[in-house]
Amino acid sequence: MTLPEPTPDISAFLASSVHDMKNSISILIGGMEKILAAADRESPEYQDMSHMMYETKRINGNLIQLLTLYKLGNHLYPFSPEDWLLDDFIHETLSQQQPLLESRGIAFEVDCEPDLIWPFDADLVGGVVGHALNNAIHYTQNRIRLVVRRAAEGLELRVEDDGRGYPQKMLDDGVAAMQGVDFQGGSTGLGLYFSAMVARLHRNKGKTGSIRLENGGAWGGGCFVLCLP
């Protein structure tokens, strides 16, 4: 009697492929940043290269989110909240976005309470803030603001822009818009799903982290808000 061949774990192959693609795209981004830094800002090629870098960073962010979700789902991710000085965290997170912000001529402001320390997983929260910034870069007219402050729910990180804001349906759907793919609207929902999961992983004194979407803020555009207990 011939035994059937074992079914391969396709998800492991997918995760491995995603990891490989992520590494290759990170090398591409590094090369693009060097080209942009040396390019003539007035040339038409500069804007084309800037747009290519935005799209490449967006793909890289999606791959990182997919790989992280795979690890979380298979209990492979070493979730490790540590005390972070928010000034240091912001500096590190923004260093990855600065070339793209500069290439697009976007004014950026940070409003952070001095010497603020909070426990969180910096890699996960950095991924959430990076996704929110990349989204704001796409929709802003020319200004983005990152606000970090203590609030009633805990630590609040707000990414605000001066764009048209979120569609009313997205605001009305609230949590439902963060549950997965919206085939009708054409959104993968990956970024919001990832952000909501990261928020829920952070717990402290019986409270759980959360995210929400608003319109308004300092400049009347879209506001992505992450709250950590």
Q: Kindly give the confidence (pLDDT) of every residue in the chain, 229 residues in length, as a single tens digit, with 9 standing for 90 and above.
A: 666 777 777 888 888 888 889 899 899 888 988 888 888 888 888 888 888 888 898 899 889 989 999 998 888 888 889 999 999 999 999 888 888 888 888 999 999 988 999 999 999 999 999 999 999 999 999 999 999 999 988 999 999 999 999 888 888 876 565 665 554 544 568 888 899 999 999 998 889 999 999 999 898 999 999 999 9
Token pair of 151 as six digits = 């609030």
Token pair of 226 as six digits = 């992450």
Q: 8: which DSSP letter? A: P
Pairing of strands 143-151, 154-161: antiparallel
DSSP per-residue letters across 140-200: -SSEEEEEEEEETTEEEEEEEESSS---HHHHHHGGGGGSS-BTTTTB--HHHHHHHHHHH
Q: 201: which DSSP letter? A: H
pLDDT digits (tens, 9 = 90+) for 35-87: 888 888 888 888 888 888 888 988 998 899 899 999 988 888 888 899 999 99
Note the pTM of the prediction, 2 decimals.
0.85
